[in-house]
Structure 1
Amino acid sequence: MTSAAVSPLTVVVGDEELLVDRAVAEIVAMARAEDPEVDVHDLLPSQVGPGKLAEVTSPSLFGERRVVILRSVHDLTKDLAGEVTGYLKDPADDVVLVLVHAGGAKGKALLEAAVKAGAARVTCAKPTKATERLQFVKGEFSRAGRQITADAAQALLDAVGNDLRELAAACTQLVADTEGRVDVKAVARYHTGRAEASGFTVADRAVEGRLSDALEQLRWSLSVGTAPVLINSALAGAVRGLAVVAQPPRGVNDAELAKRAKVPPWKLKTLRQQARGWTPQGVARALEVVAETDALIKGAGRDPAYALERAVIGIATARAQR
């Protein structure tokens, strides 16, 4: 997105959530640069019922500009996709429409209709090659006005892994904690061991019932200095997320579910996959485990590492509870 003026119609295509979120945020920022009072509507398919598009794109009494973001348009029903296609034939003058599509064959007709209507296209494909991931790391430092040596970028990739959000967070932290050009020594100082062994990875493996993996990640996480309280916080967050999505109340949309689970909307898919196989009794027991562990870590016990091992075993075991 290099143009100074925001396009009235943009398709953001790709399956890498971080890049998609950045592309959408940049469009919104460009619109706000032109009009600070611009009204933004960011909608998931579950929020786009019949007539919703007409509602958010209809002429305003006060003439304010609007940005309408339709996420995951490949998941729209046939009728709603037809409604969007119809809008493309006669778009509103004061509306910036952003269609987010994962790519692929699903919903391709709508994507093609948008391109035919003159949409600007932003591609957000997931980096699959090592050279692409290296370029991403270097780009993160360039965005911050900094440089990283080629061997340091490779060392950071080796330490953190391939998840773009984790890589971006690691780059941001290095920018904040260092000065000048970042070299291998700086990476080694802040990223000893495997950064995949974060509290969140421990939590994911535990709620998935992958006990041996969870214990291995826990030991690595502790060995590289992750605070026990942060690991248990990640465990608690993962279990709370399960509790929210395992038996969602009727009529609650994805945006509200994400808010209750305290996760970004894109993570609901992961939570739902993790919730498979869990029973209400198992979730209740897992919640008890993290509460007990919290007390042990914060003074009721003598060995936080042992308390966390018990917690991981307890959560993984609770998954099978009937």
Structure 2
Amino acid sequence: MTDVPPLVLITGPEQILAERAATSTIALVRESDPQAELVRIEAASYERGDLQLHTSPSLFGDSKIVLVRDLDEGREELIADLVDVVTAGAPDATLIVAHKGGVRGKKALDALKKNGARIIDAPAIKSDRDKSAFVTNEFRSAGRKVAPDAVRALLEAVGKDLRELASACKQLADDTEGLVTADVVQRYYGGKVEATGFRVADAAIGGNLPEALRLARHALASGLDPVPIVAVLASQLRQIARVATAGRGSSGALAKELGMAPWQVDRARRDAKGWDGTRLGSAIQAVAAADFDVKGGGRDPVYALERAIMTIATARNG
């Protein structure tokens, strides 16, 4: 028999986690009842009485799985019907309700909780620390191991969107064997926009002006806009400043305090060598000016980017 209760509440804004929770719950119900009919109800287009119709007992004794999506977008008709159904009970149905957050639909949420709904959290994954943990767990779930520097490379190459990260993890898990390393990630995703920006930033912040300009010009010649490169420069410099002023402590402890991943703390500490507060401040100001220029405030975005790169490398070299 399934251990899924008749009421399940999935709450939180991270949609990929919410969708996975709903999918796994449905699969668990169907383990014991493969013929259970799945009914999806979209909150925004709900019509009064639909919920009662779909959760009422069947003449043939068939069971149903009713998935209510985006309760937080529902009108009062849905909220009232949901409270009634939850309070009265639906013996032939498993009711799964997804709510992204906020106070809308509070009466229905309270009714679900009061009547013993299983609560599954889908919390927002925003910090780099949490995204690193997400990537590591994706590979672990696939029965694979991933090196810490490969996690960093994947975040830098693919970006921070959770769906893209999940898709990239799946591709690497499916298409490769053994330990997933940074070289493997580079082979698959090294040409992505984000990866190019990080290589430019690494060179500029390390004081290697010729390499930073070469990478930037190659990226621009390939059609890349200056905006994302400037954004990465700004992000890297801010991380150096935050870590440099955070004091001593282990990488893990500082990462938790700053909302960063441990490898980001290690990289920022490494990159901070050779910088002082005055030169780092001037570099940050130069990138702020470039950010304004490349987003329409200046006449020549390419010149603004190269000027920022030159200022950063020159500041790093004293």
5+ residue gaps, structure 1, are: 198-214, 222-322
Match of 2:103 in 1: 105
Q: Report the CA distance between 1:177 and its aligned residue.
A: 1.7
Kept after mapping to 2: 8 A contact 1:66/1:95: yes
| Alpha-carbon distance in structure 2 between the residues aligned to 1:160 and 1:179 | 20
Kept after mapping to 2: 8 A contact 1:193/1:220: no
Matches within 5 A, 1:161-200: 161-194=159-192
- Aligned to 2:170, what secondary structure does the other structure show? helix
Match of 2:152 in 1: 154
Q: Report the CA distance between 1:15 and its aligned residue.
A: 1.3
Q: Report the CA distance between 1:218 and its aligned residue.
A: 7.8
Q: Deviations over 1:126-180 (max 9, x none)?
A: 2111111011001111111111111111110111111011001100111122101
| Alpha-carbon distance in structure 1 between the residues aligned to 2:53 and 2:2 | 28
| Alpha-carbon distance in structure 2 between the residues aligned to 1:150 and 1:188 | 14
Q: Deviations over 1:195-232 (max 9, x none)?
A: 569xxxxxxxxxxxxxxxxx9798249xxxxxxxxxxx
- Aligned to 1:219, what secondary structure does the other structure show? coil
| Alpha-carbon distance in structure 1 between the residues aligned to 2:165 and 2:194 | 10
CA shift in 2, pair 1:217/1:124, >3 Å: farther
Choose which of 55, 58, 61 in structure 1 pairs with 2:56: 58
Kept after mapping to 1: 8 A contact 2:43/2:74: yes
Kept after mapping to 2: 8 A contact 1:147/1:182: yes
Residue type matched to 2:54 in 1? V
5+ residue gaps, structure 2, are: 196-218, 226-318
CA shift in 2, pair 1:89/1:184, >3 Å: same
Matches within 5 A, 1:237-252: none
Q: Report the CA distance between 1:106 and its aligned residue.
A: 2.1
Task: Kindly name which structure, 1 or 2, has the bigger radius of gyration based on alpha carbons.
Answer: 2
Choose which of 219, 223, 247 in structure 1 pairs with 2:223: 219
Kept after mapping to 2: 8 A contact 1:194/1:220: no
Q: Deviations over 1:250-273 (max 9, x none)?
A: xxxxxxxxxxxxxxxxxxxxxxxx
Match of 2:93 in 1: 95
More divergent stretch after superposition (4-13 vs 61-70): 4-13
- Aligned to 1:128, what secondary structure does the other structure show? coil
Residue type matched to 1:86 in 2? D
Residue type matched to 1:219 in 2? G
Kept after mapping to 1: 8 A contact 2:57/2:90: yes
Aligned length: 202
Match of 1:36 in 2: 34
TM-score by length of 2: 0.60
| Alpha-carbon distance in structure 2 between the residues aligned to 1:150 and 1:85 | 47
Match of 1:258 in 2: none
| Alpha-carbon distance in structure 2 between the residues aligned to 1:216 and 1:41 | 49
Q: Report the CA distance between 1:96 and its aligned residue.
A: 0.4
| Alpha-carbon distance in structure 2 between the residues aligned to 1:135 and 1:68 | 32
Identity, % of aligned positions: 36
Residue type matched to 2:223 in 1? R
Q: Deviations over 1:28-48 (max 9, x none)?
A: 101111111000001102442
